[in-house]
Amino acid sequence: MALREKNNKPNSLKTNNLELGTQNMKPETINSNFKSEEYQINMGPQHPATHGVLNLLLTIDGETIKKVEPDLGYIHRSIEKMCERDSYQQIVHLTDRMDYLSSNINNEAVCLAVENALELEIPERVKVIRTIIGELTRISSHCLWWGVMGMDVGALSTFFYGFRDREMLNDIFEETCGARLTMNYNVPGGLMLDIHPNFVKRVKKFVTHFKTKIPEYDRLLTENVIFQKRTKGVGVLSKEDAISFGVSGPVARASGYSCDVRKYHPYSALDKVTFNESLKTEGDTFARYQVRIQELWESLSIVEQLIDNIPEGEYRVKTNAVIKLPKGEFFQKVETARGEFCVYIISTGTKSPYRLKFRSPGFSNLSVLNHIAVGGKIGDLVAILATLDLVIPDIDR
Amino acid sequence: MNNNELQSLISSWFPNPEANKVSEVIEVSETEEGSEGKVKVQESINPSLLEFTEEGSQFLNISVKPEHLHQLMSQLKTNSETNFDYLFCLSGVDWGEELGVVYHLESTTHRHIVVVKVKTKDRETPILDTIYDIWTTAEFHEREVFDFFGIKFNNHPNLKRLFLTEDWEGYPLRKDYVDEANMVIK
């Protein structure tokens, strides 16, 4: 890390004070001799705990954090500007380059916005498959987060267990649509392809497998005393602040703010399933951790409710080769693994949107970082960053 | 609250002082002009300084002039009947002749949604009031709008470029932005 002195004051340690000798050095004298000084250090852009190219400019006093200033834009591609020249089918492909761990849910958001604007009737089969894959994406994202979370606070082995289970899901995705991460499985009007004949069997196998693994996660990390001491009471966020900062997703729910888009604005087949919104009131790093673990169970339950009842029917309805949305404004909210993702389309009736805004959850969640990290240590900041679960392309867009 | 109730409540906060005056003038001139002309003029008078529309959008849209923006926003949040405490989307938009910002607000207690739009015709030095003191999330979002649209915000605590470098010229998400090297135009 590069060290930079903030103020150009000469070293405050005066030589004549040293002549006093040790017997006269009371604690006050020592403190006045060694004045605390604030330094600025760069954390990132190449730092393992920032999970991507994020640069945090930390103002520190000793190891105590005085200010955190994020420096963004290292991988900004201006996706919103690119959308203004692209067709609606092409825009879907750009969205999974934002939050790549929730790629299928991002795709779904754009498709839903376009379908609502065209007033298309989407077959039940499509809705159910979208919801199943959306929840599997959420599990896959939380698996990765769990592995990395443990690694950030010093437990390297969690990384391998998290990736082991995520691998099963990636294999299912690969068999379904040919891609493991940036899926592009949704198209306006339905799905690119029908599900693979093995899909139901493999998902069921995964659900049975994963049910035995979450208790292992708990035994390995949740109940670990060192882990609990690193996370309890660290980075506390109150409910009022969470709302004011526009925080959403598991981070907000850990502060007792009920904000699950799947509950309040259900989309696809989410109105047909029952699940609990996982809520905690402590608002600290450990609460954010627990909310995500609870969400793994809830997502499994949603998948279980739907997997045996995938309706027969078309997997796609026909749309025009060139999609033109009617004049107006269209808005769609979805719940990604990180929180509330919104698509806001202003259309003038042409084949490309006049303006398209993506409201990404990571951007608002990052803005709260300075508020909750100040006063803590650098080690706490790493734990906080891990539970904010930032994906940098989602912030930089 | 449904959209009609919201509209009648919010419009009552900003009564149009012109509305009463003009209708009196029309009554006087009624004998001189035809009754058709009178009806047309009365329709065009808005009883409120705000404009409401639900056309082409799934939410209630409120258009507000820049000078009333801050007052409207703080009332939308503090009034217990509206209580819009969650600003979930803040987007800069270039409407061609006008630049502006679109705010999407939701209430976490009543669960209703409203959209507020503000536009300014000044493309050289567009200035709006910050709403950072009402919703903290606006600090980052307004910096993003400044970065890409060049809209300045009064009283913003830290208004500088967020994604782009300090020496970047121009505002890329404006419609008249040209960058021949990096932009592929179809």
Which pLDDT belongs to residue A5? 45
C-alpha pair distances (Å), A315 with each of A90, A104, A126, A188: 20, 16, 6, 11
Which pLDDT belongs to residue A142? 92
Which pLDDT belongs to residue A29? 53
Q: List the single residue in B with minimal CA-CA distance to A72.
A: B163
Which H or E element spans position A142?
A: helix A124-152
Cα diameter, chain B: 66
N-to-C CA span, chain B: 45
Residue B164 lies in a domain: no
Give ipTM to 2 decimals: 0.80
Assess whether A115 and A24 both reside in one domain. no
Q: Which of B56, B88, B164 sits opposite A246 (nearest CB)?
A: B88
DSSP summary character for residue A268: T
C-alpha pair distances (Å), B82 with each of A122, A226, A364, B74, B117: 34, 46, 23, 11, 17
Which pLDDT belongs to residue A32? 61
Contacting A with CB below 8 Å, chain B residues are 55-59, 61, 85-89, 91, 93-94, 102, 104, 108, 111, 115, 135-137, 139-141, 144, 162-165, 172-173, 183-186
Phi first, then psi: give them for residue B111, nearest 5 degrees. Answer: 60, 30
N-to-C CA span, chain A: 27
Q: How far apart are CA A374 and CA A282, in angstroms?
A: 18
Beta-bridge mates of residue A70: A56
- The domain in which residue A55 lies consists of 3-71
Which pLDDT belongs to residue A212? 92
Helices within A195-279 (DSSP H only)? 199-217, 225-231, 239-244, 250-253, 261-264
For the ranges A148-157, A300-309, B50-59, B156-165, which has the lowest average pLDDT? B50-59
Residue B165 lies in a domain: no
Which pLDDT belongs to residue A75? 87
Query: Nearest CA to CA, how far is A243 from chain B (Å)?
Result: 6
Beta-bridge mates of residue B105: B87, B114
Assess whether A320 and A356 both reside in one domain. yes
Both structure tokens of B27:
């009554």
Residue pointed to by tokens 């809520």: A279
Both structure tokens of A163:
């990736």
Which pLDDT belongs to residue B66? 86
Q: List the single residue in A with minimal CA-CA distance to B88.
A: A246
Q: Virtual CA dihedral for A167, A168, A174, A175, nearest 10 degrees?
A: 160
A279 to chain B, any CB pair closer than 8 A? The answer is no
Q: Mean per-residue pLDDT for B45-50?
A: 72
Which pLDDT belongs to residue A1? 45
In chain A, residues with a C-beta closer than 8 Å to the C-beta of B87 are: 246
- C-beta separation of A391 from A379 below 8 A: no
Assess whether A131 and A232 both reside in one domain. yes
Yes or no, beta carbons of B57 and A80 under 8 Å apart: no
Q: List the single residue in B with minimal CA-CA distance to A326.
A: B56
Which pLDDT belongs to residue A6? 46
Query: Nearest CA to CA, how far is A289 from chain B (Å)?
Result: 23
Q: How far apart are CA A255 and CA A250, in angstroms?
A: 9
Q: Which of A57, A351, A357, A372 to mutate to test the interface with B (most CBs of B within 10 A)?
A: A357
Q: Mean per-residue pLDDT for B14-43?
A: 55
The DSSP code sequence of A146-187 is HHHHHHHTT-THHHHHHHHHHHHHHHHHHHHHS-SSS---EE
Assess whether A306 and A278 both reside in one domain. yes
Beta-bridge mates of residue B93: B100
The reported pTM is 0.82
Q: How far apart are CA A326 and CA A333, in angstroms?
A: 20
Assess whether A33 and A122 both reside in one domain. no
DSSP summary character for residue A114: H
- The domain in which residue B47 lies consists of 3-154
C-alpha pair distances (Å), A98 with each of A82, A106, B58: 13, 8, 26
Which of A71, A91, A112 lies at the terminal end of a domain, its last residue?
A71
Assess whether A252 and A162 both reside in one domain. yes
Yes or no, beta carbons of B140 and A367 under 8 Å apart: yes
Which pLDDT belongs to residue B5? 78
Q: Which CATH number belongs to the domain containing residue B54 in this structure?
A: 3.30.460.80
Which of helix, strand or coil describes residue A344?
Answer: strand
Assess whether A85 and A200 both reside in one domain. yes
Radius of gyration over alpha carbons of chain B, in Å? Answer: 20
Which pLDDT belongs to residue A341? 92
Q: Virtual CA dihedral for A198, A201, A203, A208, nearest 10 degrees?
A: -160
- C-beta separation of A243 from B86 below 8 A: yes
Tens-place pLDDT, residues B99-155: 889 999 888 888 888 899 898 888 888 888 888 888 888 888 999 999 898 898 888
Write the burial class of residue A156 (CB in 10 Å: 0-12 exposed, 13-18 middle, 19+ buried): exposed
Yes or no, beta carbons of B58 and A331 under 8 Å apart: yes
The DSSP code sequence of chain B is --HHHHHHHHHHHSB-HHHHHHHHHHHHTTTTS-HHHHHHHHHH--SBSSEEE-TTSSSEEEEE-GGGHHHHHHHHHHSTTT---EEEEEEEEE-SS-EEEEEEEE-TTT--EEEEEEEES-SSS-EEE--TTT-TTHHHHHHHHHHHH--EEET-TT-S-SSS-TT--S-TTSTT---TTT----
Q: Which CATH number belongs to the domain containing residue A392 in this structure?
A: 1.10.645.10
Which pLDDT belongs to residue B164? 87
Residue B109 lies in a domain: yes
Which of helix, strand or coil describes residue A19?
Answer: coil
Residue B170 lies in a domain: no
Both structure tokens of A190:
């339905």
Residue B115 lies in a domain: yes
Assess whether A61 and A115 both reside in one domain. no
Question: Taking a contact as any Cβ pair under 8 Å apart, which residues of chain A between 341 and 360 contact chain B?
Answer: 342, 344, 346, 355, 357, 359
Which pLDDT belongs to residue A208? 92
In chain B, residues with a C-beta closer than 8 Å to the C-beta of A256 are: none
Q: Which of A244, A257, A355 sits opposite B135 (nearest CB)?
A: A244
Query: Nearest CA to CA, how far is B67 from chain A (Å)?
Result: 23
In chain B, residues with a C-beta closer than 8 Å to the C-beta of A326 are: 56
Domain count for chain B, please give it: 1
pLDDT along chain A (397 residues), means of 10: 45 44 51 70 77 85 87 87 88 88 90 89 90 92 90 87 90 89 87 88 91 90 87 88 89 89 87 87 89 91 89 85 86 90 90 90 89 87 87 87
Yes or no, beta carbons of B165 and A248 under 8 Å apart: no
Domain count for chain A, please give it: 2
